[in-house]
């Protein structure tokens, strides 16, 4: 049985597509801090204290030096001489500002960061003019005030709602694909006949086919959790995050094994698995009690529904344990 696991591991690393995906998972986890920095630099530069500069034309109330009439401002914008146009209007004593920016998403994000800074300064000026108190939100921790950067929520959401759930699901899908390839390879190459002639029982052979991807995915999950920690990503509850992530893998590996056992053909099994996996993804990432969301919440140290997590994990591992009984290798 151990020899089959070792053989499957060797064959796995000969598959270029599989190795490429594994490398990508490790690479993303290894440079997670760089990826996060790039995202924030693009969409929330003020989080890093970087605003940049842009050429802005103002129409209406002139609160900066570059003031024009609407026709001139739009001509300058269309010719590319200004990056944005702010049209200030006054309706019943209420100030309204229409912001016109380029269609290009990257350029617009950079311009809006600078415009936000200008409008914040304009707001403070109006507060002083009208005598409106500037109420500031203060955050305290351990009895002392701490400063929370304005883009910190974006960092948190990206890491714990996107990056970590995506890593857990990708690991599970890769492991399931490995299972399908391993089972179908034995059948289509007829090497299953050689295995059945050995002292190994069909049940042990079946178990080895689900054990190999589970061992590998567990090591891979531990690796990307470690790499996240090395990148200064706070993983508050790594054990719980690891268990739920591995249970997601157990669920997908079980599906992969049963698909391979049913169809005995790699292309058909992969197609059906892809359809089922794509259909289950929304359930995995969209709800509070979704498995992938719980991985992110556990990593963030947030509360999760432990009952739901326990039920899902138990059901996934039970399905994994019974899948060799449902479709033994000699019946494939």
Nearest CA to 155 out of 256, 245, 37 is that of: 37
Nearest CA to 183 out of 252, 253, 264 is that of: 264
Q: How many CA atoms lie within 13 A of 120 on its CB side?
A: 9
Go through 259-272 and write b for each residue having 16 or more CB atoms within 10 A of its CB, e for each that does not: bbbebeebeebbeb
* β partners of residue 86: 58, 99
Q: What is the dihedral of CA 101, 103, 109, 114, to 10 degrees?
A: -20
Go through 277-312 and write b for each residue having 16 or more CB atoms within 10 A of its CB, e for each that does not: beebeeebbeeeebbbbbbbbbbbeeebeeeebeeb
Q: What are phi and psi of 131, to 5 degrees?
A: 70, 30
* β partners of residue 87: 59, 98
Integer Cα distance of 288 and 267 in angstroms: 34
User: For the whole model, what pTM was predicted?
Assistant: 0.65
Which parts of the chain sit beneath pLDDT 70? 1-24, 27-53, 105-106, 134-154, 192-202, 328-332
pLDDT at position 50 is 47
Q: Among all chains, which residue has been given the structure tokens 């024009």?
A: 68
| 310: enclosing H helix or E strand | helix 306-326
- Cα-based distances in Å from 184 to 12, 16, 278: 13, 17, 21
CA 48 to chain centre: 22
pLDDT at position 192 is 66
Q: What are phi and psi of 64, to 5 degrees?
A: -135, 180
pLDDT at position 332 is 46
């Amino acid at each position: 049985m151990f020899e089959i696991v070792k053989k499957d591991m060797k064959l796995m690393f000969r598959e270029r597509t599989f190795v490429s995906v594994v490398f990508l998972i490790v690479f993303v986890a290894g440079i997670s801090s760089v990826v996060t920095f790039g995202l924030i630099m693009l969409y929330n530069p003020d989080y890093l204290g970087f605003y940049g500069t842009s050429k802005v034309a103002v129409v209406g109330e002139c609160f900066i030096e570059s003031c024009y009439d609407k026709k001139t401002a739009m001509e300058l914008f269309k010719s590319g001489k200004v990056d944005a146009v702010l049209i200030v209007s006054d309706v019943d004593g209420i100030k309204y500002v229409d912001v016109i920016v380029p269609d290009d998403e990257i350029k617009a994000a950079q311009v809006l960061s600078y415009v936000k800074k200008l409008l914040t300064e304009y707001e403070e000026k109006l507060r002083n003019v009208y005598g409106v108190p500037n109420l500031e939100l203060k955050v305290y921790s351990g009895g002392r005030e701490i400063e929370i950067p304005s883009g910190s929520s974006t960092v948190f959401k990206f890491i714990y709602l996107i990056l970590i759930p995506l890593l857990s699901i990708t690991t599970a899908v890769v492991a399931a694909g490995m299972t399908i390839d391993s089972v179908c390879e034995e059948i289509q190459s007829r090497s299953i006949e050689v295995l059945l002639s050995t002292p190994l029982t069909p049940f042990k052979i079946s178990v080895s086919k689900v054990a190999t991807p589970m061992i590998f995915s567990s090591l891979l999950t531990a690796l990307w959790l470690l790499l996240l920690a090395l990148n200064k990503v706070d993983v508050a509850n790594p054990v719980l995050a690891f268990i739920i992530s591995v249970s997601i893998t157990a669920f997908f590996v079980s599906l992969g094994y049963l698909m391979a056992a049913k169809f005995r053909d790699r292309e058909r099994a992969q197609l059906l698995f892809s359809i089922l996996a794509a259909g289950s993804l929304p359930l995995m990432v969209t709800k509070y009690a979704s498995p992938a969301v719980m991985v992110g919440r556990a990593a963030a140290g947030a509360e999760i529904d432990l009952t739901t997590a326990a039920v899902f994990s138990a059901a996934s591992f039970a399905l994994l344990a019974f899948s060799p009984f449902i479709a033994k290798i000699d019946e494939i």
